[in-house]
Amino acid sequence: MAPPARSIISTSTMSTRIEAGQMTYKNPPTAPRQSATFDEYTLSEIRRAAATGIYDIRGAGAKRKVPHFDDLLFLGASISRYPLEGYREACGTNVVLGARHAKKPIELKIPITIAGMSFGSLSGPAKEALGRGATLAGTSTTTGDGGMTEEERGHSEILVYQYLPSRYGMNPHDLRRADAIEVVVGQGAKPGGGGMLLGQKISDRVAEMRTLPPGIDQRSACRHPDWTGPDDLEIKIQELREITDWEKPIYVKVGGARPYYDTALAVKSGADVVVLDGMQGGTAATQEVFIENVGLPTLACIRPAVQALQDLGMHRKVQLVISGGVRNGADVAKALALGADAVSIGTAALVAIGDNDPRWEKEYQALGTTAGAYDDWHEGRDPAGISTQDPELMKRVDPVAAGRRLANYLKVMTLEAQTIARACGKNHVHNLEPEDLCALSIEASAMAGVPLAGTDWIPGKTGL
């Protein structure tokens, strides 16, 4: 009697003979399996670190997928509330920033501002384009680490002057000709981190503005040299107000880390405006490990900050500006619905003026990357002429045309936000509210504090 058939378990792709029937067949080949833990990017990064002995530095913000505005939806009008007629019934978009203490608050036509980006990290024509575009759209632009340039002051009707730990280029003359002052405590890409502008971007002009030798790596400090903590910050803000005769609104910018307490402490310190930047917010040059592993997603920052303002009775009195991954009018509307007074864009503004444009694909490939993924902004070889100090490359930015594109983009975003607000029955974008939203995921529901779609459940707030 023949022995009973046995099952044969094999990972081999070699032919196997089935003993019972004496049949032979070829096992289906096992497909090569890539590790989810050691994925292609991770392996390449290990090899790169081993070969170069340096961590990866890059620009832009977090690229990992995190809960974001895409995970929220507006509910729109229904029987219980009626919408406003598109194009016919007004929906306001203006915003006033800094009325708490400043004699001359900032008045913007749209609730979208241009975030701080430095001359040095960006070329002069790029800064000019940002100023032109913001001015055409009726909003503000912001200096960065490196001081104020004539290009941006001259072409920005409303210019916010950043007061940074490095104090590169800081001087009272520029402080007085600014329209507002932004004390930068941190930024979303690197809460708790400083910066490093590599030597190849330190042209003579950049070096002079920063009082450093050309061509050397320039470190930007991670904390201010002459104050630590909220009690000191309050005194620092008092000094800035005294220097500028209490005219200028004073913003405090923080990276998304502890938004409830940071917002509360900024208010306590006397800020007129709190700028809160989530981890998708961009940087000119920071360690990859920092960008991807430190900080909170923008979506998770907003409600705690709004709660802090409400607990202090300061919501709408101290304005909240949200940044980090804002891309379109829906994002704007969602941030405002969650309680922000305005948003700020950086990366998106650079894209609008030509960053990562596919027209330069060949050159991106020559740099070992592709349009849309180029983030070595610190190297100064940007084919689009934006994150560079190379005189030839920066000629590729036509400040007038690029400024026009930025204005178009800002206006489209505003129109999109208005479209949504009208659909929700609001005659001003600031009348959007959390009740207009639902979330597509449990995570987004918990972070944004709005119900999971189709339920009245908010994790951590309402019953199961």
Partner 1 sequence: MPTFDLASVPLRDLNQALHAVGAGANETEFEVINPRGAHAVAVGIDAPVRVDVHGSVGYYCAGMNAEATVTVHGSVGPGVAENMMSGTVVVKGDASQYAGATGHGGLLVIEGNASSRCGISMKGIDIVVKGNIGHMSAFMAQAGNLVVLGDAGDALGDSLYEAKLFVRGEVKSLGADCVKKKMRPKHLALLADLLAKAGVTDAKPEEFTRYGSARALYHFNIDNVDAY
Question: At closest approach, how far in Å is the CB of 350 from partner 1?
Answer: 25
Question: At closest approach, how far in Å is the CB of 434 from partner 1?
Answer: 40
- Residue 45 lies near partner 1 (rule: CB under 8 A): no
Q: Among 58, 68, 155, 236, which residue sits at the site for partner 1 (rule: CB under 8 A)?
A: 236
Of 46 and 243, nearer to partner 1 (C-beta) is 243
Question: At closest approach, how far in Å is the CB of 205 from partner 1?
Answer: 16
Contact 371, 347 (CB under 8 A): no
- Residue 368 lies near partner 1 (rule: CB under 8 A): no
Of 52 and 80, nearer to partner 1 (C-beta) is 52
Task: Give the residue carrying structure tokens 């002052």.
Answer: 181
Of 246 and 457, nearer to partner 1 (C-beta) is 246
Q: Give the per-residue contact string, 246-275, with partner 1 (x = CB under 8 A; - = no).
A: x-----------------------------
Q: Which residues pair with 343 in a beta bridge?
A: 112, 322
Span between the terminal Cα atoms of the chain, in Å: 63
Give 27's DSSP letter: P
Question: At closest approach, how far in Å is the CB of 247 from partner 1?
Answer: 11
Question: At closest approach, how far in Å is the CB of 210 from partner 1?
Answer: 8
Task: Give the residue carrying structure tokens 């509307």.
Answer: 333
- Residue 54 lies near partner 1 (rule: CB under 8 A): yes
C-beta atoms surrounding 68 within 10 Å: 21
Question: At closest approach, how far in Å is the CB of 234 from partner 1?
Answer: 9
C-beta atoms surrounding 198 within 10 Å: 15
Phi/psi of residue 251, nearest 5 degrees: -95, 155
- Residue 227 lies near partner 1 (rule: CB under 8 A): yes
Of 199 and 459, nearer to partner 1 (C-beta) is 199
- Residue 235 lies near partner 1 (rule: CB under 8 A): yes
Question: At closest approach, how far in Å is the CB of 396 from partner 1?
Answer: 28
Site size for partner 1, by CB under 8 A? 34
Of 163 and 364, nearer to partner 1 (C-beta) is 163
Q: Among 40, 242, 392, 456, which residue sits at the site for partner 1 (rule: CB under 8 A)?
A: 242
Of 240 and 442, nearer to partner 1 (C-beta) is 240
Contact 70, 334 (CB under 8 A): no
Q: How far apart are CA 381 and CA 387, in angstroms?
A: 8
If we measure between CA atoms, which residue out of 325, 447, 449, 351 comes closest to residue 65? Answer: 325
Output the CA angle 95-330-307, nearest 5 degrees: 60
Question: At closest approach, how far in Å is the CB of 15 from partner 1?
Answer: 52
Q: Among 21, 53, 454, 463, which residue sits at the site for partner 1 (rule: CB under 8 A)?
A: 53
Contact 453, 440 (CB under 8 A): yes
Question: At closest approach, how far in Å is the CB of 366 from partner 1?
Answer: 25
Q: What is the DSSP string of 329-361?
A: HHHHHHHHHTT-SEEEESHHHHHHTTTT-GGGH
Question: At closest approach, how far in Å is the CB of 242 from partner 1?
Answer: 4
How, if at all, do strands 158-163 and 180-184 pair? parallel
- Joined together, the tokens standing for residue 267 give 């208010």
Of 73 and 222, nearer to partner 1 (C-beta) is 222
**Options 40-48, 60-68, 123-131, 233-241: segment touching partner 1 (CB under 8 A):** 233-241
Q: Among 171, 293, 365, 427, which residue sits at the site for partner 1 (rule: CB under 8 A)?
A: 171
Identify residues 182-221 at the interface with partner 1 (CB under 8 A): 196, 198-199, 210-213, 216-217, 219, 221
Quote the distance between the C-alpha of residue 286 and its chain's center: 14
Q: How far apart are CA 277 and CA 342, in angstroms?
A: 12
Which positions ≥6 away from 59 have C-beta within 8 Å? 121, 282, 283, 284, 285, 286, 375, 376, 377, 378, 387
Q: Which residues would be at the binding site for partner 1 (CB under 8 A)?
A: 52-54, 166-167, 170-173, 175, 196, 198-199, 210-213, 216-217, 219, 221, 225-227, 232, 235-236, 238-239, 242-246
